[in-house]
Homo-oligomer: A and B are copies of this chain.
Amino acid sequence: RTLRIGLLPGDGIGREVIPAGRKVLEALPKSLGLDFSFVHLDAGFDEFKKNGVALPEKTVETLKKECDGALFGAVSSPSTPTKGYSSPIVGLRKRLDLYANVRPVKSVVPTAAFPDPIDLVIVRENTEDLYVKEEKTYDGPDGKVAEAIKRISERASSRIATMAGEIATRRQRVRDTTGGDAAKKALVTITHKSNVLSQTDGLFRTTARAALEQARFKDAGVKIEEQIVDSMVYKLFRQPSAYDVIVAPNLYGDILSDGAAALVGSLGLVPSANVGDGFAMGEPCHGSAPDIEGQNIANPIATLRSVALMLEFLGEEAAAAKIYQAVDANLAEGKLLSPDMGGKAKTTEVTEDILRRL
């Protein structure tokens, strides 16, 4: 099988970690029967500054017509309000209907602050909520007033909760077959703020619950719980090992996943996949980090894990497992770590070490 992968490095350290992602795909054992071809695609703030658009139409079209998957690096946000600029990653998620943003947070070597093993996944709705970006500004009696629409639909809430149920089911199957953490049970925690937003978050809550109450999830032993979003953040930090799969509307999912990254010590470890029907785009959770750009010190692990996650959603679980194991082995040994992890290794050195372990 040959997979065609779009490469969208974007800005800043995106240009240093996406090449690492490409390398790991090229280094996969031939015995897996996978081949890759790549196409480089433009997107980002630099692209905007050059050509006036952050997400060129050609990029979207090429992904739609030619590609099986993609790797997205990171984009810089303008430091002052900039007319006409619109985040390309938000645009891509919508244009390609990548309705799920899947963000696994896993500790290989627990940190001093969080000694318990952490192994959870945040499943974030990826197309609506405040990210519909329907805003307007008008003059009020005491100055300007701006409004944005938060939109929640039954359809999007149902499919994201179904995805969460499927992920919980698959994780339980993996634990059952590999003898993983026996204390861990399949659990989906629905996060919302329906005590204030009774209609929007209320719809998310009841729809997600209905989707998760399907017989197939019940049969697989998937339990359902709810947390109000503020309380969720608190509990995430107090008892991170208690959670398995967390499903949330777009914005809460965004905030929760950055928060959860702190649990494992670095944003540089946390991957994500933007998943639609038959397409997956890997994306490290970190940003473009202009402060460390060009120094070859960015942690490539978030990207390498994002590559694995992309492969998982393209049905290549064996190839994904190879990459996860190689990354885990690098972390468990702890000799070649990037500066965010307290080490001194360069981006390329960490990458080489992981490639060796494939």
Residues of A within 8 A of B (CB): 77, 81, 87, 90, 112-114, 130-131, 133, 135-137, 140, 142-155, 158, 193-200, 202-203, 205-206, 228-231, 233-234, 236-238, 251-252, 254-255, 257-259, 261-263, 267, 287
User: Chain B contacts of A155 at CB under 8 A?
Assistant: 140, 142-143
Contact of A255 among B87, B114, B145, B233 (CB under 8 A): B233
Given the known A-B contacts A146-B152, A155-B140, A262-B237, are A133 and B90 also in contact in the complex, defined by CB atoms under 8 Å? no
Known: A137-B203, A142-B155, A230-B257. 9 other contacts (CB 8 A): A113-B114, A130-B193, A130-B197, A147-B149, A149-B150, A231-B258, A234-B258, A236-B262, A237-B237
- Contact B206 A234, beta carbon cutoff 8 Å: no
User: Chain B contacts of A90 at CB under 8 A?
Assistant: 196
- Contact A151 B143, beta carbon cutoff 8 Å: no
User: Chain B contacts of A252 at CB under 8 A?
Assistant: 255
- Contact A200 B233, beta carbon cutoff 8 Å: no
Please, how many angstroms separate the alpha-carbon atoms of A355 and B10 in the complex?
59
- Contact A144 B154, beta carbon cutoff 8 Å: yes
User: Chain B contacts of A206 at CB under 8 A?
Assistant: 81
Contact of A259 among B133, B158, B234 (CB under 8 A): B234
